[in-house]
Structure formats: C-alpha cells, structure tokens
C-alpha cells in the first residue's frame, strides 16, 4: 500500500465522525502522520484503551467503564427513578448533566427516525425504553429530542408507543430554538426547558 493510500484511509475514517468534513479530516491526518508523531501515539493509546475498557451502559446507553455497567448515572441512589429523560445521543446526556436541571434517569436512543438515512424504530433503542417503562415503575418520560423534523417524528412515534403505559409523556419545549440540537444549548436554556416542558 502506498503512503497516499494509507493516508486516505485515515482521512476517510476521520470524515465519518460527526462534524468532521473532508478538509478537517485531511488536516488532522497530515498533522498526525507528518507533524506530530507523539500526538499520534497518544491518540492510538487512548483509542486502544477505549476499545478495551469503555462500553455503552446497558441501561441508558452512555459510555461507561466495563466494570461499571450499569453506569454511575443509572446506579446513583440520589436520582429519581420515576423520571426518564429520553435523548438522541449519549452526548446529549453530558450536556443536560452540565446544566444541573434534571435529577432523574436517562435513555439514549442512539439516533432518530430518519427514512432518508434508513433508520426506523428497530434501529433505535425503542424496545428497551418500553421495557424500562414497564419494569422500573416510571411515572414520566421526558422527550428531550432535537426540535427538527427527525426529532419531531421520533417524539410523535414514542408518544404513540408509550401512550398505553399510563404515564405522563412530556417534551422539552420552551427555550430551545427550532432546528437546534440539545448539545449546543447553554445550561440556563436547558434548565428553563425542563421547567417549562409541556
């Protein structure tokens, strides 16, 4: 394999990451392979550690250490078991936790319904959410999904899927701009959105 082909494999891998375009991927690949071998070694070691030691929490989906599964958020006795906040991605959990505006449990769907991307209910963690609602004595499910077409479609689907469970189903509404993502919101906006949910 030629050096150019090897570099293109790195560029292709980086550009698959969310928010990383082709040009950014090329800059990162060049920096790691030509300019900063120490950074390349550090990145390889970090990724190897993550591959061996970090998994998705079996309950909420957030990253956790293999020997702490379920994660600390799911096992903490100080959290409200009757509230589940449903988010699109584990990174949304980190953002909400930073706001300090929620004290219940979480459930990451790992995406949203998106026919354009070929993602249907079976591709998301919907079944495990329904099972949690039935087995964990949940009182309310808060849908903290992005306010875009996919988020709205996913919220409508979840509302229908959970309607017969006899629980309150609410959705963050106030303070989050349309078309924006949870992870880009500031802590005050998120706290107000939780307090003003519908």
CA atoms within a 13 Å half-sphere pointing along the CA-CB vector of 198: 6
With CA atoms as reference, report the closest residue to 124 among 157, 100, 149, 101.
157
More confident residue, 143 or 148: 143
What whole-number distance in Å separates Cα of residue 150 and Cα of residue 155? 8
SS3 168: strand
**Interstrand relation of 104-108 and 63-65 (parallel, antiparallel or unpaired):** unpaired
Domain 76-195 CATH class label = alpha beta
The domains of the chain are located at 3-53, 76-195
Confidence of residue 59 (pLDDT cuts 50, 70, 90): very high
As a whole number, mean pLDDT of residues 127-146 equals: 96
Two tokens, residue 59: 């309950």
Instruction: Name the DSSP class of 4.
Output: H
User: Tokens 């988010």 appear where?
Assistant: 87
Check whether 35 has a pLDDT greater than 80: no
With CA atoms as reference, report the closest residue to 89 among 11, 181, 14.
181
What whole-number distance in Å separates Cα of residue 198 and Cα of residue 173? 7
Confidence of residue 183 (pLDDT cuts 50, 70, 90): confident
What pLDDT, on the 0 to 100 scale, is given for residue 190? 81
Average pLDDT, the chain: 91
As a whole number, mean pLDDT of residues 161-168 equals: 96
As a whole number, mean pLDDT of residues 111-123 equals: 92
Answer yes or no: are the C-beta atoms of 142 and 85 closer than 8 Å: yes
Confidence of residue 193 (pLDDT cuts 50, 70, 90): confident
Burial string for 134-151 (b: 16+ CB within 10 Å, else e) reads eeeebebbbbbbbbeebb
Please give the CATH architecture assigned to the domain spanning 3-53.
Orthogonal Bundle (1.10)
Three-state secondary structure along 23-91?
HHHHHHHHHHHHHCHHHHHHHHHHHHHHHHHEEECCCCCCEEECCCCCCHHHHCCCCEEEEEEEECCHH
Element (H, E) at 191: helix 187-195
What whole-number distance in Å separates Cα of residue 24 and Cα of residue 4? 17
More confident residue, 193 or 129: 129
The rounded radius of gyration (Å) of the Cα atoms in the chain is 19
Check whether 18 has a pLDDT greater than 90: no
């Amino acid at each position: 394999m030629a050096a150019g082909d090897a570099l293109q494999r790195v560029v292709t891998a980086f550009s698959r990451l969310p928010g990383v375009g082709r040009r950014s991927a090329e800059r990162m690949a060049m920096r790691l392979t030509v300019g900063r071998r120490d950074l390349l070694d550090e990145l390889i070691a970090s990724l190897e550690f993550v591959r061996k030691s970090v998994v998705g929490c079996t309950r909420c989906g957030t990253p956790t250490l293999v020997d702490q599964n379920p994660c600390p958020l799911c096992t903490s006795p100080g959290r409200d078991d009757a509230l589940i906040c449903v988010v699109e991605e584990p990174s949304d959990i980190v953002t909400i936790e930073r706001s300090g505006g929620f004290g219940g449990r979480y459930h990451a769907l790992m995406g949203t319904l998106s026919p354009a991307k070929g993602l249907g209910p079976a591709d998301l963690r919907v079944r495990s959410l329904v099972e949690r609602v039935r087995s964990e004595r949940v009182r309310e499910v808060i849908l903290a999904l992005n306010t875009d077409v996919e988020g709205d479609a996913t919220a409508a689907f979840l509302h229908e899927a959970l309607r017969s469970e006899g629980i309150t189903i609410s959705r963050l509404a106030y303070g989050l701009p349309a078309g924006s993502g949870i992870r880009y919101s500031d802590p005050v906006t998120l706290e107000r959105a939780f307090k003003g949910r519908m």
